[in-house]
Structure 1
Amino acid sequence: MKIGQVARAAGVSVDTVRFYERRGVLPAAPRRPSGYREFGESAAERIRMAKSLQALGLTLDEVVDMLRAHDAGGATCESERWRLEAVVTRLDDRIAELERVRREAVQAVEDCRAGCCRLLSE
């Protein structure tokens, strides 16, 4: 498959395919004599998998590490579950931080309503 075909099949741009190849999501594609990359049929599925893992909250580096573990042949759901658990922990931390900031913003609004505005210094 040419790069444009992979991009269309995966629902991403050609630049995204190139980026994923550079970052290691996709193995380096061999080139035709014309210089065009020749991707295997699994490239689009691999991109879709990477995108879905990123949508769950894994970083691109984590996705690449997970794919490498899969490619090495020893990865199972059980052996890789810790990655998703780390995402959940990060999300919980982020939610806690957002809740803290929200409480401060609500307090600032209440202060403004009470005539003690934090936005304007005198």
Structure 2
Amino acid sequence: MKIGEVASAAEVSVDTVRFYERRGVLPPAERRPSGYREFPASAAGRIRSAKALQDLGFTLDEVVDALRAHDTGDATCETERWRLEAVVARLDERIAQLQRLRRKAADSLDDCRSGCCRLVGDARLV
């Protein structure tokens, strides 16, 4: 498949296909004598898998590692569960950080509504 066909099948841009190839999500494409990349038909599915993992919260490096583990044929739910556990732990921490930040912002808003604005750093809110 040419790069444009892969991009279309995977519903991404050609630049995304190139980026994924550079980052190791896709193995390096074969080259035609003309220099055009030639990808296997499986490339689009691999890109869709990578995007799905990123949508779950995996970093691109984690996606590459997970796909490599899958490529070896040794990956099972049992051996790979730790990857999802790490993502869930990271998301839980981010949610906790956002909840703390929201509480601070809400408290500042309540103070502002009551006419008692607090200092933020060295500046007043209003």
Interval of TM-score (by shorter of Structure 1 and Structure 2): over 0.9
**1:112 is matched by which residue type in structure 2?**
C
Question: In structure 1, what is the Cα distance between the partners aligned to 2:61 and 2:36?
Answer: 27
Question: In structure 2, what is the Cα distance between the partners aligned to 1:58 and 1:102?
Answer: 25
Deviation of the 1:92 alpha carbon? 0.5
Question: In structure 2, what is the Cα distance between the partners aligned to 1:60 and 1:35?
Answer: 27
**1:58 is matched by which residue type in structure 2?**
F
**2:8 is matched by which residue type in structure 1?**
R
Question: In structure 1, what is the Cα distance between the partners aligned to 2:12 and 2:106?
Answer: 40
CA RMSD of aligned residues (A): 1.3
* Gap regions ≥5 residues in structure 1: none
Question: In structure 1, what is the Cα distance between the partners aligned to 2:4 and 2:56?
Answer: 26
SS in 2 for 1:25: coil
Residue in 1 that maps onto 2:25: 25
Question: In structure 1, what is the Cα distance between the partners aligned to 2:125 and 2:35?
Answer: 63
Question: In structure 2, what is the Cα distance between the partners aligned to 1:106 and 1:13?
Answer: 40
Where do 4+ consecutive residues of structure 1 move more than 3 Å? Answer: none
How many residue pairs end up in the alignment? 122
SS in 2 for 1:12: coil
TM-score normalized by structure 1? 0.96
* Gap regions ≥5 residues in structure 2: none
Tell me: CA distance 1:64–1:113, structure 2 relative to 1, closer, same or farther (3 Å): same
SS in 2 for 1:53: helix
SS in 1 for 2:36: coil
Deviation of the 1:121 alpha carbon? 6.5
Q: Identity over the aligned pairs, expressed in percent? A: 74
Structure number having the greater strand percentage: 2
